[in-house]
Every structure is written in structure tokens, then in C-alpha cells.
Amino acid sequence: MQALFAPKWSSDVRLDGKTAIVTGANTGIGKETATDLASRGAKVIMACRDMAKGEQAARDILRAVKGAKVVARQLDLADTKSICQFAENIYDTEKTLHYLVNNAGVAICPYATTADGYEMQFGVNHLGHFFLTFLLLDLLKHSAPSRVINVSSAAHAMGKIQFDDLSGEKDYHPVRAYAQSKLANVLFSRELAKRMEAFGVGVYSVDPGAVNTEITRHIRRPFVDVIKTFSFLIKTPADGALTVIYCVVNPESQMVNGGYYNDWLAWRLYFPLQWPLYCSRINCFWQVFTADRPSHQ
């Protein structure tokens, strides 16, 4: 809501010599973020599931931004094999990684599972990015100061993580599943921020607000009617990307590590009663999920 009453945030910070990865960069918030970072001089790796769309988006940015350094690479966040291949390619080709923007996602979609058997929204929105981030941590630490930005949603406030049904087979509801995945983004950001602070890696979660992007393609009535009624609150992808970009370029001294940002402000979140349980479960899940994974030194 602040965006309705306050001037838009802007910054002329340059990112020359920096390298960024933006997932889901072929459209919407991801494409706007990639375009902005490229305009600041950063090399941007556009991680896209659909390479035809990714390469077209890269060509669009090259036409729009003089001297842009962008490249599209294939990444399917619903398949851990694809995530591993993407990470290996990054280590083979990049000496540094300063910004990882975990933006890609699916929303309120019909029931489906990832290649590894997890419910699709939780698998793509959270687990895929969780695993990608873990695989790239060595490069992020090597490149410090660096940052991880996880795109979440205000829907996280309705979320509850069903640790006993991550496949979603028992009681799938598309809205609850989306909220669960967005809550996981916030919890992961907080836990990762604690673990990485000593290494110079900042971590932030972002609520871009209600944005008119392709992620809403699965939404049906009555939600479509609600969106039409409040269409004056719907942001463009460029406006939706502003808080993501803010978390990339704003000085570290002005940031709250592990913070949740909306309209370029850090918000205090409350998770009464459930918070200690979520923290302990996420911590255990981290240990299980990352056990025996190779490290790049």
C-alpha cells in the first residue's frame, strides 16, 4: 500500500564487475529484474526452464540495454538433475557470483508433482531454490559480500507447512499449497541468513505485491473476479521488481539481514506458537536435504 502514497524508490548504483543469477528471468518480475541489473553493468545469467523464451528475453534485453551482458541458461526447478547440471555449469564458467535472485515460481496450479515426487508449488517455489542456493553457496561465499533474494508473497501469512505431506497427496488445495511454499521462502531466508552472516552473504525475502504476470495464469473464479475488482492495486512487472532490485543494490548498512521486504521497507513478521516448531523442522530438513552433497572449494 505504501507504493500508492509514496514516491517510487530509485537508485543510480552501478554493478559493474558483478555477476547475478535471476531465475524465471524470461518474463514478468524476473525479466524486469534482469533488465535493470544489466542496465547497471552487471553480468546477468537468466535461468529459465523454457530456453526458447529465455533466449528471446535475452535478445529483448540486448536490444533495450546498450552493452548488456546477459545470457540464458536452462534450469528446471522441478528436477534436481537439472538443478545440479545448472550449478555445475556455473562453476565451470563463472569465477564469481554476487547476487542470486530466486524469483521463478508457480501459483495456485492444479495438482502435480516434481520429478522427485514433491508437490509442484512447494517443490518449485521452495525446494528447487533451496537446493540451487545450497549448491551455489561456495561461490557466493567466495564472492562476498554477496546476497540471496528469495521472492515470497504476502500469502505466506496464510501458510502452514505440512511436513507429513510434502507430496500433497493427502489433502491438496492450490491456495493452501501456494501459501505453504511462500511461508517456506520466508523461513528459509531467516535460517540461511543466520548461517551465512559470518561469511558475508546477506539473505532477504521479498513480497513484490500483487503483480500482473504469467504466474497468475492458473487462477480461476472467484479469484479472477476479486482481482478485477481491485485491479487498481495490481502492479506492473516493473513496479513489482522494484523491491527485489532494492534488496540487490541498497547499502548493507541499511538492510536487515534475514528481513522480509515489501515496497522497499523491512516488515516485522510474527509467527506465534508455530515459529519454534518451524525453525526446528526447517533446521532438520536442511541437514537431511544437504547431507552428503558435494562442496566446491
pLDDT of res. 113: 95
Per-chain mean pLDDT for the chain: 86
Catalytic one of 99, 118, 178, 260: 178
Residue 99 banded pLDDT, cuts 50, 70, 90: very high
Mean pLDDT within 51-74: 98
Per-residue pLDDT tens digits for 115-149:
999 999 999 999 999 999 999 999 999 999 999 99
d(CA 194, CA 192): 5
Per-residue pLDDT tens digits for 258-286:
999 988 777 655 554 555 666 676 666 66
Position 217 pLDDT exceeds 70: no
- Pinpoint the alpha helices (H) of the chain: 2-5, 28-39, 51-64, 80-93, 120-122, 129-142, 174-196, 223-229, 237-240, 242-249, 274-289
Per-residue pLDDT tens digits for 235-251:
898 999 999 999 999 99
% residues pLDDT > 90 (the chain): 64
d(CA 69, CA 74): 17
Residue 49: what are its φ and ψ, rounded to 5°? -75, -45
Reported pTM? 0.88
Q: Angle at CA 21, nearest 5°, toward 215 and 95?
A: 165
Closest CA to 15 of 44, 40, 36, 51: 40
- Chain position carrying cell 525446494: 127
CATH superfamily for 2-9+16-289 is: NAD(P)-binding Rossmann-like Domain (3.40.50.720)
Active site residue 118: no
In contact, 69 and 38? CB cutoff 8 Å? yes
> Measured in whole angstroms, how far is the alpha carbon of residue 113 from the centre of its chain?
20
d(CA 33, CA 91): 23
pLDDT of res. 272: 44
Helix 28-39 vs helix 242-249: crossing angle, to nearest 10: 40
pLDDT of res. 229: 47
Per-residue pLDDT tens digits for 3-51:
444 567 889 999 999 999 999 999 999 999 999 999 999 999 999 999 9
Position 2 pLDDT exceeds 50: no
Per-residue pLDDT tens digits for 158-179:
778 888 888 888 889 999 999 9
Closest CA to 257 of 269, 245, 246, 247: 247
In contact, 203 and 230? CB cutoff 8 Å? no
